[in-house]
Amino acid sequence: MPTKMSMMAAACFAALLAGLAPAAAQTRTTLDIYVVDVEGGNATLFVSPSGQSVLIDTGNVAPEAAIRDAERIAAAAKDARLTQIDHLITTHWHGDHFGGMTEVAKRVPIRDYIDHGPNIQPVAAFDEFFAKAYPALYGAAKHTVAKPGDTVAVAGLDWRIVSAAGAVQKTPLAGGGSANASCAAFKPQDPDPTENAQSVGSIVTFGKFRVAHLGDLTWNNRKGAVPESMKTLFSSPGIEDVWQIHFSQLSGQEYTVPGMFIANGIDAPLSEMPVQPIAAPPPGPNTPPPPAHNGPAYWIKVSAQQDGTFTVTNARNGFAKTYGMNGRGTN
Ligand SMILES: [Zn+2]
């Protein structure tokens, strides 16, 4: 006859099995967004509760960086239990945004290639990619040239294209269109002649949760590691926390965040973190490369609920924080 203790143990085991069942059925309820570390540029993976997925950009150019970044993207896809990427949006034709595409496609099948159209900033090194490699990739799948106002079909999400090839959405989105006081003092900058201004921009809605991804569409001070940008971020109203893929090398300790919000170090960490902002190196051919980080890389993951609340998790240390429970962020 079982003792009371062992019956309790058996009951706990049964409860554990019951708890495992939904996981085995792979039920999803959240929109999961993996911000993958590709050492600058971009690779962001969206996974709908339906299991359909959109990857925005594929990291850096061949050979070594493309393989490194494709491996990191494939690891995120594996974590999300994906067997394919339903749509790849390449925001623009800069090497740190499309460079890993061929390598990603070798690891995870891509079903639809979305871009803004031809490259307006030709670089000889990329000619062969546009002439041969890219047509071969999308020729075996689907190719879509995006325009503002288009939607991308992702079951469970409302995915709208709001910018592409230098054009932007002309009509307000639902709930938008009124004057924004924060933009009252805005003065247009000189036109950006580069591929950045061609970026495919998306607004994604999941219930009450909305997120914008605009590629490199913004113009002045857009690079995150510039001290001025960090000052602006830290003094902006309504921003609760800033999560960083890396310590901001050019900004120093003064404009960076507590370590639990930072996903990655570098391969050879500094013996001590700088306290003062560090002067940015002069641009040009003699600019030293950024500190190397080719080793293990962690993502920052956002899991959003229909009610607009969302949890951000640092994959390096498991530190997570949920936003929007007390009103802020849910409006
Ligand atoms: Zn760019």
Q: Domains for the chain: give ranges and CATH numbers.
A: 26-222+298-331 (3.60.15.10), 225-297 (no CATH)
Cα(39)–Cα(128) distance, integer angstroms: 24
Contact 291, 266 (CB under 8 A): yes
Alpha helix (H) residue ranges in the chain: 4-24, 64-79, 95-98, 101-107, 127-128, 134-139, 227-235
C-alpha 221 to ligand 1 mean position (Å): 13
| pLDDT by 10s per residue, the chain, length 331 | 333 444 344 444 444 444 444 444 468 999 999 999 999 899 999 999 999 999 999 999 988 999 999 999 999 999 999 999 999 999 999 999 999 999 999 999 999 999 999 999 999 999 999 999 999 999 999 999 999 999 999 999 999 999 999 999 988 888 888 888 877 888 877 888 999 999 999 999 999 999 999 999 876 545 555 677 777 888 888 888 999 998 877 777 777 889 999 999 888 877 776 777 777 777 777 777 778 899 889 999 999 999 999 999 999 999 999 998 654 543 3
Quick one: pLDDT at residue 159?
98
How many angstroms separate the alpha carbon of residue 41 from the centre of ligand 1? 7
Cα(239) to centroid(ligand 1), Å = 25
CA of residue 38 to ligand 1 center, whole Å: 14
| 197 Cα: distance to centroid of ligand 1 (angstroms) | 8
CA of 143 to the centre of ligand 1 (A): 21
**Reduced DSSP (H G I as helix, E B as strand, rest coil) percent helix, strand, coil of the chain, to 5:** 25, 20, 55
Residue 42 Cα to ligand 1 midpoint, Å, equals: 9
Q: How far is the CA of 200 from the centre of ligand 1 (A)?
A: 11
Cα 290 to Cα 170: distance, rounded to the nearest angstrom: 39
| Ligand 1 centre distance from Cα of residue 112 (Å) | 22
Ligand 1 centroid to 188 CA: how many Å? 19
Q: What spacing in Å lies between the alpha carbon of 59 and ligand 1's midpoint?
A: 11
217 alpha carbon to ligand 1 midpoint, in Å? 8
Distance 4 CA to ligand 1 centre (A): 66
pLDDT of residue 219: 63
pLDDT number for residue 16:
43
How many angstroms separate the alpha carbon of residue 198 from the centre of ligand 1?
Answer: 9
Q: How many CB atoms are closer than 10 A to CB 103? A: 21
Query: In the prediction, which pLDDT does 26 show?
Result: 62
Tell how far the Cα of 287 is from the centroid of ligand 1, in angstroms. 18
Residues in contact with 328: Cβ distance below 8 Å, sequence separation at least 6, in sequence order: 238, 240
> Given phi > 0 = left and psi -120 to 50 = alpha, else beta, which region is 175?
left
Cα(216) to ligand 1 centroid in Å equals 5
Q: At 54, which helix (H) or strand (E)?
A: strand 53-56
The Å distance, Cα 324 to ligand 1 centre, comes to 31
Q: How far is the CA of 203 from the centre of ligand 1 (A)?
A: 19
The amino acid at residue 61 is V
Cα of 243 vs centre of ligand 1, distance in Å, is: 21
CA quadruple 88, 56, 259, 318: dihedral positive or negative? negative
Query: Ligand 1 mean position to 58 CA, how many Å?
Result: 12
Q: How far is the CA of 44 from the centre of ligand 1 (A)?
A: 15
- Measured in Å, residue 12 CA sits from the centre of ligand 1 at 54
Ligand 1 centroid to residue 326 C-alpha, Å: 36
pTM: 0.87
- Amino acid (1-letter code) at residue 90: T
Distance 97 CA to ligand 1 centre (A): 7
How far apart are the CA of 126 and the centre of ligand 1, in A? 15
